[in-house]
Amino acid sequence: MLSFLLLHASISRNAQTQNLQLKASLVHELGLTDLCLFTEARYTRHLSQADLYTAFQDHPLSLEHFPSGSFTEPNLSGIR
Amino acid sequence: MQSWLEKQRYIVDFTMSSLLRRKVKNIGLLVLYTLIVFILASIIFFTYAIKREAAFILQGSPEIIVQNLIAGRHDLLPVSFLDQIKSIRGVANVESRLWGYFYDSLVGANYTLLTPPSQAGSLKSDGKKTFVGSGGSDIPTPTEEKNLYEYEGAPLEPGTLIIGNGVARMRSIGKGDYMPFMAADGEIMNLKIVNTLASESELVSSDLILMHESDFRKLFGISSTYVTDAIVTVSNPSEIETVANKIKKHIHTARPIIRDEILRTYSSIFNWRGGMMIVVFSAAVLAFVIFAWDKASGLSAEERQEIGILKAVGWETSDVIRMKFWEGAVVSLTSFFSGVILAYIHVFFTGSIVFEPALKGWSNLYPNFKLTPFVNAEQLTTLFFLTVIPYTVATIVPIWRAATIDPDTAMRHTGN
C-alpha cells in the first residue's frame, strides 16, 4: 500500500505541475511576495514584508501573541 | 538457505502467536506507536511539501521590493522615490505597488487589497524580468498565458473587483454580486464583483481582493503622490544584492527586500526550533524514551517464564533473541507503515485536517489548498531511523540478559 501511495505521489506531482505553474504565474503577474497561510495578523500574512517591530506593535515589551508566530522565525539575514 | 528461511518463518509464526496471546497490551502499544509515527510523518510530509511548493511558486516574486520605513515601521513610499531608484545604475525597471489590508467586521476576517501592478502607475523601461532557480523557465510569462486579473479580456475598471476564493467563501458571494466598503471619508463604496480568482491558486490568493487604482486610493484616502512600495527589476540578476545596497545608500529610509530573502523566509518556516514544532517533537521523543525505558528496564514475569520454558524445551539463546527481535520488528514495522500511510492520506488527501486548527490560529479565513505530494526516500529513511531502529534495539538488550540465564531460574521468576 505504501508503494501504491508513492506511485500516487509521483503521478500526481506531474499532474499538479500545471497548478503550480498557475500559482507561480499569478505571483509573477501580481507581484505577490507571500503565501496566504496565516491571515490572523498583517505581519503573519506577509511574513517576508514584516519589519522586526510589528510583532511587538502593542508595546515594546508585549509578547508575540498570535499562534502562527510559533511556526515561523525572524529572517535576520537580510537586515541592512 | 532453504532451511534457514524455514526456521525464520517458524520463528515469525511463533512470534505472531506469542503477540496475539497478549492481545490487549500489544494492540495498545501498536496504536500508540502508530499515533506517534503518524504525527511525526505528517509534520515531515507537510513541512517538506509546503517548503517545496513555496520555493517553486515564489521564484516568480519580485527581485527587489523597496519599502519606506518611518520610526521602524512600514510607511507609504513617496512617488518621487521611484525616479531616484530608477536613476541607480543596474536598475532596469521600477513599478509601484498599491496594496493594503481591510478588516471585514461582518465575518471577522482580514483581506489583502491589491491593485494589479500595471494599473498602479509605473516607470517602465525595456528591462526584462528574470527568474532565479532551475525551475524559473517553467513559469509562463504574462504573454504566454491569459491575464489572470482581467475579465473578458479587459483590465479592471473603476467600481469593479476580482476576489479570491476564500473571500467568496467567507461572504457567500460571487460574480455579479456587490461588495460594500466604507471609504476613508465615510462614503459607502459599492463595488461590483466581476470575477473570482481560480480556486487552485488559493494558497497565494485566498484573501486577495483586486481593485482599480482609483477605488483603492479613494477607499484608503491615499493621495496620488504616494504608493505602498516599489518593485525593482535588475538588468543583471547577479547584481540584485549590489543594487539593493545602492538603493539603501541613496534613500536612507528605504528597506530593500530581495527575492532570496523572501525564499529564505519560507525555507525556514516550520523549523523544528519553532515553538509549536519543538513541543510536538519533544512529546514524540519523550514517548519513545518511555517505550525504550519500558523495554530496557526488563521483562515481565510472564515473558521471563516464557523464555525459561523455551530454553528448557531446547531453544538456543540465539533463537530466543531472534524471536524477540522479530517481535520488536513486527510491532515497529507495522506501526511505521500504518503511521506513514495514515500520514500521507492525512496530508495529501484531507488537507492536513488535524493541523488546521493550529495553522488557522485566530484567523477566520483559511485557504483550502491541496499540497503537491513531494515525498522522497530521505524523508522515509529519516523517519525509519527515528522510530523503528531505537525501538528494535531497545528490545534486544533485556532479551539477551534474560535469554542467557538458566531456564530453571527463569521459570522460578528469580535470578537476573
DSSP-assigned states of every residue in A26-71: HHHHHT--S-SS--SSHHHHTTTT--TTGGG-S-TTPPP--GGGGT
Tell me the pLDDT band of B157, cut-offs 50, 70 and 90.
confident
Are A39 and A19 members of one domain?
A: no
Range of the domain at A14: 1-32
Are B50 and B115 members of one domain?
A: no
Cβ–Cβ under 8 Å, residues B60 and B139: yes
* Chain A residue at shortest CA distance from B136: A24
| B342 lies in some domain | yes
B122 has which bridge partners? Answer: B95
SS3 state of residue B62: coil
Distance between A62 CA and the closest CA of chain B, angstroms:
16
* Chain A residue at shortest CA distance from B131: A28
Are B228 and B285 members of one domain?
A: no
- Give the residue-averaged pLDDT of A36-41: 87
Are B295 and B389 members of one domain?
A: yes
Residue B146 has pLDDT above 60, yes or no: no
Neighboring chain B residues of A56 at a CB cutoff of 8 Å: none
Return the H-helix or E-strand segment holding B35.
helix B23-57
Single-letter residue type at B98: L
What's the domain count of chain B? 2
What's the domain count of chain A? 2
Neighboring chain B residues of A36 at a CB cutoff of 8 Å: 112, 164, 166, 202-208, 367
B272: which 3 cell numbers?
523544528
Are A77 and A57 members of one domain?
A: yes
Distance in angstroms (rounded) separating the CA atoms of residues B354 and B365: 17
Are A53 and A80 members of one domain?
A: yes
Q: Which of B265, B279, B345 to mutate to test the interface with A (most CBs of A within 10 A)?
A: B265
Q: Which of A45, A47, A53 sits opposite B112 (nearest CB)?
A: A45
Distance in angstroms (rounded) separating the CA atoms of residues A14 and A20: 10
| B72 lies in some domain | no
Amino acid B73: pLDDT: 82
Are A45 and A70 members of one domain?
A: yes
R_g of chain A computed on alpha carbons: 18
CA dihedral (B312, B318, B319, B321) positive or negative:
positive
- Give the residue-averaged pLDDT of B108-130: 64
* Chain B residue at shortest CA distance from A51: B73
Are A20 and A58 members of one domain?
A: no
Say if the Cβ atoms of A47 and B372 lie within 8 Å: no
Which tens digit of pLDDT belongs to each residue from B72-110? 788 999 999 999 999 999 999 999 999 999 999 889 899
Cβ–Cβ under 8 Å, residues B258 and B64: yes
Cβ–Cβ under 8 Å, residues A30 and B149: yes
Amino acid B147: pLDDT: 47
**Who's near B160: CB < 8 A, 6+ residues apart?**
B151, B191, B192, B193, B194, B211, B212
Residue B145 has pLDDT above 80, yes or no: no
- SS3 of chain B: helix, strand, coil, percent, to 5: 55, 15, 30
Return mean pLDDT, chain B: 82
Neighbouring C-beta atoms of residue A53, cutoff 10 Å: 14
Say if the Cβ atoms of B362 and A31 lie within 8 Å: no
Q: How many CB pairs under 8 A join A and B?
A: 219
* Chain B residue at shortest CA distance from A19: B200
Q: Which of B131, B84, B362, B385 is nearest to A67 (CA)?
A: B362
Q: Which of B64, B42, B39 is nearest to B255 (CA)?
A: B64
| B66 lies in some domain | no
Q: Which of B111, B228, B250, B67 is nearest to A49 (CA)?
A: B67
- Rounded to 5 degrees, φ, ψ at B250 are -75, -45
Amino acid A33: pLDDT: 92
Residue B116 has pLDDT above 60, yes or no: yes
Residue B141 has pLDDT above 50, yes or no: no
Are A5 and A25 members of one domain?
A: yes
B85: which 3 cell numbers?
531608484
Residue B218 has pLDDT above 70, yes or no: yes
Cβ–Cβ under 8 Å, residues B162 and B149: yes
Under DSSP, the state recorded for B119 is G
Distance between A76 CA and the closest CA of chain B, angstroms:
9
* Chain A residue at shortest CA distance from B203: A36
- Rounded to 5 degrees, φ, ψ at B294 are -60, -40
Are A39 and A28 members of one domain?
A: no
Are B117 and B208 members of one domain?
A: yes
Neighboring chain A residues of B373 at a CB cutoff of 8 Å: 8-9, 12-13
Are A55 and A38 members of one domain?
A: yes
Are B148 and B277 members of one domain?
A: no
* Chain A residue at shortest CA distance from B144: A25
Listed in order, strand segments (DSSP E) in B228-361 are: 229-234, 254-258
Distance in angstroms (rounded) separating the CA atoms of residues B198 and B370: 13
Cβ–Cβ under 8 Å, residues B369 and B203: yes
| B69 lies in some domain | no
| B306 lies in some domain | yes
Are B222 and B277 members of one domain?
A: no
Which tens digit of pLDDT belongs to each residue from B361-384? 888 888 888 888 888 888 889 888
Distance between A57 CA and the closest CA of chain B, angstroms:
9
Tell me the pLDDT band of B288, cut-offs 50, 70 and 90.
confident
Q: Which of B287, B228, B212, B275 is nearest to B34 (CA)?
A: B287
| B76 lies in some domain | no
Kindly state the percentage of chain A with pLDDT values over 90. 6
B37: which 3 cell numbers?
509515527
Range of the domain at B12: 2-55+269-411
Residue B245 has pLDDT above 90, yes or no: yes
B226 has which bridge partners? Answer: B78
Distance in angstroms (rounded) separating the CA atoms of residues B150 and B355: 35
Distance in angstroms (rounded) separating the CA atoms of residues A51 and B73: 7
Are A17 and A39 members of one domain?
A: no
| B82 lies in some domain | no
**Who's near B158: CB < 8 A, 6+ residues apart?**
B212, B214, B215
Residue B143 has pLDDT above 70, yes or no: no
Which tens digit of pLDDT belongs to each residue from B6-47? 887 888 888 888 778 878 888 888 898 899 899 889 988 998
Are A52 and A68 members of one domain?
A: yes
Beta pairing class for B122-123 and B188-196: unpaired
| B110 lies in some domain | yes
SS3 state of residue B229: strand
Which tens digit of pLDDT belongs to each residue from B60-78? 899 999 999 888 788 999 9
Cβ–Cβ under 8 Å, residues B213 and B119: yes
Distance between A59 CA and the closest CA of chain B, angstroms:
14
Are A38 and A74 members of one domain?
A: yes
Are B230 and B284 members of one domain?
A: no
- Rounded to 5 degrees, φ, ψ at B297 are -80, 0
Distance between B22 CA and the closest CA of chain A, angstroms:
27
Say if the Cβ atoms of B244 and A80 lie within 8 Å: yes
Are A43 and A17 members of one domain?
A: no
- Give the residue-averaged pLDDT of B232-256: 92
Distance between A25 CA and the closest CA of chain B, angstroms:
6
B253-257, B268-272, B340-344: the lowest-pLDDT one = B268-272
